Structure 1
Amino acid sequence: MSISGLNTLKKGQHYTAKELDSFVSTTEAVVLSNNDNQLFTDPEREYKVTHEFNGFFEHSMEDAEKHFREKKAYVVEKV
């Protein structure tokens, strides 16, 4: 898979941490991992996309309200 052309992730597919790093750096998206803060520590480690969402709710500190953000969010798990 070409790292430079990665502009979306597909549920069920495997990606290396290097590919996910490139994706996050160039795309307006959120990636959640079951690997805590170690997602990018091993560039060759593979992750599987288990869920894909079109947005999420977020609490705003500015107005103390919850707002829906239309932003792609993906859940990945270590393979």
Structure 2
Amino acid sequence: MSKPGLNTLKPGQHYLAKDLDSFISSTDAVLLSSNDNQLFTEPEREYKVVHEFTGFFEHSMEDGEKYFREKKAYVVEKA
């Protein structure tokens, strides 16, 4: 299922960890994984995109404010 040059992920679709690695290395996005910090430990493991968000709120330690960041964020889980 290797898809070189991914520029977006689609909810409901399955992707190999190596494809997600390539995607996140070349795209300004955030991946949230139910697999903790082991997302890229098995390149052939398959993950399903369960949610896609156009942005998220982030707390600034500098000024204590919360800001909405328009940055794609995806939730993935082991398939």
TM-score range, shorter chain: over 0.9
5+ residue gaps in structure 1?
A: none
Q: Which residue of 2 aligns with 1:53?
A: 53
Q: TM-score w.r.t. structure 1 length?
A: 0.96
Q: TM-score w.r.t. structure 2 length?
A: 0.96
Measured after TM superposition, the shift of residue 26 of structure 1 is 0.1
CA RMSD of superposed structures (Å): 0.7
Specify the code of the residue in structure 1 equivalent to 2:26: T
Find the aligned partners of 1:23 and 1:41 in 2 and give their Cα distance.
16
Specify the code of the residue in structure 1 equivalent to 2:34: N
5+ residue gaps in structure 2?
A: none
Find the aligned partners of 1:68 and 1:53 in 2 and give their Cα distance.
12
Specify the code of the residue in structure 2 equivalent to 1:28: D
Q: Which residue of 1 aligns with 2:67?
A: 67
After TM superposition, the structure 1 = structure 2 runs for residues 13-24 of structure 1, keeping only pairs within 5 Å, are 13-24=13-24
Number of residue equivalences: 78
